[in-house]
Amino acid sequence: MHFGSDKITSFFGNKSLRCGKNVLKIDKPLVMGILNLTPDSFYDGGRYAEKNAWIFRTGEMIDEGASIIDIGAVSTRPGAAEVTEDEELFRLLPAIQLLSKEYPDIVFSIDTYRSKVAKLASEAGAGIINDISGGSMDNELIATVAATGLPYILMHMQGTPANMQLNPVYEDVVSEVNRFFNQKTEVLKNAGISQVILDPGFGFGKTIEHNYQLLNKLSIVKKSGFPLMVGLSRKSMIYKLLNITADNALPGTTALHILALLNGTDILRVHDVKEAIQVIKLAEAYTKTLD
């Protein structure tokens, strides 16, 4: 892989997104910290189920340098149990209402594929809608996001969380993900959504080999001109390859984060904010030598 200056233009762009009452400037790579309110997420399920834990963990990630906090109330790990809309709202709304008041200058992203959840979360203080399904799991979601005026994270996934890892097949994963983004961003544009962040969906309907092919070719996706987000943190493409557990996958995560940054990534979605900020500083120091 060649780490040339053409791979790192995202470091020096001048983008900004209107996220409700806040503006998110993307003139250098940012970190999105993960706050899972779920009992069964693959790494930190059950750790942040109570109000004090929400506040403490959010404050900790902000202090470490997170610009965005992504709140999820439904696990989307492979084979995760179905959660009702009512249960998702029961877990999510009190958290976003409380945290958006506690930390008014921070952008909160809501990890949901449901239109009602997106609408109520936006009214409660959410600044971004993060949808794993690309609008495929709720026909009203795209129109709902358009009505909120919030940025939309468009992720690629083959299948659904229930079946996506059973037998993912592509002729060319990079071309197919890129084609999906090209088609879907046109749909979003026609629906009135102009603020879009792309997420290739590492681990969502992809084998380990597919994931590394995508990582190697992120610069192709980056040519779309939209901000690029990746979620690599402690995923199976690391711990299964190394025959370790997610608990021991931070060094591998750090290694992949540097590769993602050098291929144009704008936002790292992570469990470990402090380490991700360190990686960004190292990548920035490295890229200065390329001028």
> Is the Cβ–Cβ distance between 137 and 160 less than 8 Å?
yes
Out of 235, 240, 274, 288, pick the active-site residue. Answer: 235
Strand 22-26, strand 15-19: pairing: antiparallel
Check if 47 is active-site.
no
CA dihedral 116, 119, 120, 125 (to 10 degrees): 150
Candidates 141, 128, 118, 69; CA nearest to 98 is 69
Out of 184, 206, 217, 269, pick the active-site residue. Answer: 269
Check if 269 is active-site.
yes
81: left (phi over 0), alpha (psi -120 to 50) or beta: beta
- CA distance linking residue 155 with residue 131, whole number of Å: 6
The stretches of the chain forming alpha helices (DSSP H) are 51-64, 85-102, 115-124, 141-148, 173-191, 208-216, 218-222, 236-242, 250-262, 273-288
**Active-site annotation, residues:** 235, 269
